[in-house]
Amino acid sequence: MTTNAKPKFAMYWAASCGGCEIAVLNTHEKILDVDANFDVAFWPVAMDAKYKDVEAMEDGSILLTLFNGSIRNDENEHIAKLLRQKSKLLVAFGSCACEGCIPGLANLSPVGDIVHTAFNTITTDNPHEIYPRTSFDVPEGELHIPTLAPILRPLEQVVDVDYYMPGCPPESHQIAAVIDLVIKVVKGEAELPPKGAVIGAGDSTVCDECPRARNVKLIKQFTRIQDIAPIDPSLCILEQGIPCNGPATRSGCNARCPQAGAQCIGCYGPAEGVLDYGARLVTAFASVIDAQEPEEIDRILDGIPDPTGQVYRFNLAGSLMKANANAFKVKG
């Protein structure tokens, strides 16, 4: 049997930080399993990335594409559509592709503000208000750079997605488990999960895998970690008054941050069955507040200095609100 008979695998990064790729590399020997069982057709970080070759491939000829990063500009969008066309199974890999991640917070501002801020910082020498231009004439010819989109979008807002693998980045042991599963599927030893499933994660919440003790204790005020650190090592962080995102966040990381004395910041996205991450989290916070009077409740809630960022930190671009989505005229 030639290597051509093996199913094709691809991995790609759009607007991302590179952490997803590092997480995959950190599976160490699993990479060799991928190599043994797949024909790696396209993986910029690990091999020759034959972009032109991808264009030349038959539609659907790549069995599995792990797509990390979000859609920030027209170039990201173009490649997302190309890989969708060429792939049987397209996985939104990591928080950026699943829900927009931290860079999705950019959707709270018009894109013009973002560029204006970056090019008018305290150290920027820009008296003539020069900004990057997608097309610019230099004496020798014309130069081009991609156009920033009005909003940042997760993958599913641009193309159809088969599976979602959350995490910022996905934990390496979860990646290894998914690689094992896909290899079994290829060998006919296992079935694929239903389309649209979340893979490489748990189906409960971070709280459910957190070893900290919950005593159904109510709080009189929210506090900030620097004001009470180091926190009690064995007690629920939310019950110590620190807004912890565990109650709304999908399990799968082994409650890594709470175990290190820090609050969950929500990088695994909405837990199973949660329609809107922020709404669920607000409910969870409300449930620990020890007050009846509206004024008192308001005072306690004021202890959360950035409610929007707190409850949509990783999820803003993928939330029900889909901030500024109307700014986009997305065709069907």
Partner 1 sequence: MTQRISIDPITRLEGHGKIEIFLDDKGEVANSYFQIPELRGFERFVVGRPIEEMPLLTNRICGVCPEAHHMAAAKATDAVYHVDPPRTAKMLRELLYSAFYCTDHTTHFYALGGPDFVMGPDAPVAERNILGVIHKVGLEIGGKVIQMRKYGHTVVEMIGGRKIHPCTSIPGGITKGITEEQRKEIEEMGRWAIGFAQFSLQVFNDIVLGNKGYVDLILGSVYTHRTYYMGLVDENNKVNFYDGKVRVVDPNGKEFVKYAPHEYMNHIAEHVEPWTYLKFPYLKNVGWKGFVDGEKSGIYMATPLSRLNASDGMATPLAQAEYEKFYATLGGKPVHQRLATHWARLIELLYAAERWLELVTDPEITSPNIHTKPTQVPTEGIGIVEAPRGTLTHHYWTDERGVVTRANLIVGTTNNYAPIQMSTHKAATSLIHNGQVTEGLLNMVEMAFRAYDPCFGCATHSLPGQMPLQVTIHDSAGKPIEVLKQYC
Task: Tell me which residues in 149-188 interact with partner 1 (CB under 8 A).
Answer: 168-169, 172
CA 42 to chain CA mean position, Å: 21
Please report whether residue 199 would count as binding partner 1 according to CB under 8 A. no
Task: Tell me which residues in 5-44 interact with partner 1 (CB under 8 A).
Answer: 12-23, 26, 28, 44
Region label for 216, one of left (φ > 0), alpha (ψ between -120 and 50) or beta (otherwise): left
CB of 95 to partner 1, least distance (A): 9
Please report whether residue 72 would count as binding partner 1 according to CB under 8 A. yes
Q: How many residues does the chain have?
A: 332
Mark 255-274 with x for binding to partner 1 (rule: CB under 8 A) and - for no binding.
-xx-xxxx--x-x-------
User: Which of 7, 8, 11, 69 forms a contact with partner 1 (CB under 8 A)?
Assistant: 69
Please report whether residue 3 would count as binding partner 1 according to CB under 8 A. no
Please report whether residue 60 would count as binding partner 1 according to CB under 8 A. no
Grouping H, G, I as helix, E, B as strand and the rest as coil, residue 88 is strand
Task: Tell me which residues in 297-316 interact with partner 1 (CB under 8 A).
Answer: 305-306, 308-309, 313
Decide if 78 contacts 159 (C-beta within 8 A): no
> Quick one: 52 or 329, whose CB is closer to partner 1?
52
In single-letter form, the type of residue at position 22 comes to: I
Place of tokens 């973002």: 114
User: Which of 55, 60, 117, 232 forms a contact with partner 1 (CB under 8 A)?
Assistant: 117
Please report whether residue 221 would count as binding partner 1 according to CB under 8 A. no
Could you tell me which stretch among 139-147, 155-163, 207-215, 290-298 binds partner 1 (CB under 8 A)? 139-147
Grouping H, G, I as helix, E, B as strand and the rest as coil, residue 201 is coil
Could you tell me which stretch among 103-111, 158-166, 201-209, 214-222 binds partner 1 (CB under 8 A)? 103-111
> Quick one: 186 or 256, whose CB is closer to partner 1?
256
Residues 5 and 38: their CA atoms lie apart, in Å, by: 9
Strands 135-138 and 141-144: antiparallel
Residues 203 and 199: their CA atoms lie apart, in Å, by: 9
Residues 137 and 172: their CA atoms lie apart, in Å, by: 46
